[in-house]
Amino acid sequence: MRTQIWLSYLVSAVLVLLLLNLFASVMAASLAKLHISPEMAALIGAAIIAGGLINIPVARVEHTGEAAENPLAIFGLDEVFPQMCRTRRETIIAVNVGGCLIPVGLALYEFSYLAALGSGLLWGVGAAILANVVVCYLLARPVPKLGIAMPGIVPPLVAVVTALLLAPAEAPPVAFIAGVLGPLIGADLLHLKDIDKIATTGIASIGGAGTFDGIVLSGIAAAYLA
């Protein structure tokens, strides 16, 4: 029995390592399409992974409500003369370094690169971002105790299609920008008003899953597919 348990642990560890290696390869290939040197791509990839462990608090949201309270509950008489008391809870809004700040910084760098090529590309970038923001906003749904849920394959596909249609010559950077900003704005920022539905205490982190957050995955997948 112990041998089987250790064997299952070993197989799980090997699968995790293989998945990490596959993700690292896809990330490197995607960043290579963004006019970034291999050395800088490796540095950015490592920074995204390490930064996924860091959340920077930016705001606090207080929640007030009423909950049933009865001093007779310890005697099993909580249904007799129920009383309501006002409760206050707090949610900390944070920004994840690896899952949000670094991808957004890279998207801004790519935007400046495209701007240097001419103003004509900027219209395509703006339209691609707008399309992905609208799609992400409409598809995203607040899920209690989970966060904002959305089909993960949709944002990169929308980013790729719009980039190929609007700016085929520079599709990878356009797709990356739309793939990052679409989920960030459409799914995360525009749904902050739904914070009461998804969290009552603790931390709500934008890009909080770090490397495997939708913002990062969407941008990398979009650049890779383009």
Residue with the larger pLDDT of the pair 193 and 24: 193
Read off the pTM. 0.75
* Helix residue ranges, H only, 140-189: 154-166, 171-181
Q: Is 35 left (phi over 0), alpha (psi -120 to 50) or beta?
A: left
Residue type, 150: M
**DSSP of 17-40, one letter per residue?**
HHHHHHHHHHHHHHHHTTT--HHH
Other C-beta atoms lying within 10 Å of the C-beta of residue 163: 29
Measured between alpha carbons, how far is 17 from 32 in angstroms, rounded to an integer? 22
Whole-number pLDDT of residue 224: 63
Whole-number pLDDT of residue 177: 92
Confidence check: pLDDT of 78 > 60: no
Residue with the larger pLDDT of the pair 179 and 215: 179
Q: What is the pLDDT of residues 192-220, one digit of tens each?
A: 777 766 655 567 778 765 333 567 777 77
User: Residues 170, 172, 173, CA angle at the centre, nearest 5°?
Assistant: 75
Place of tokens 């890009």: 207
Place of tokens 């509950």: 73
Domain extent listing, the chain: 23-60+94-225
The answer to whether 52 touches 209, Cβ cutoff 8 Å, is: yes
Measured between alpha carbons, how far is 27 from 25 in angstroms, rounded to an integer? 5
Q: What's the token pair of residue 9?
A: 């642990």
Whole-number pLDDT of residue 162: 92
Q: What is the pLDDT of residues 33-52, one digit of tens each?
A: 787 877 787 788 788 888 88
Mean pLDDT of 64-75: 53
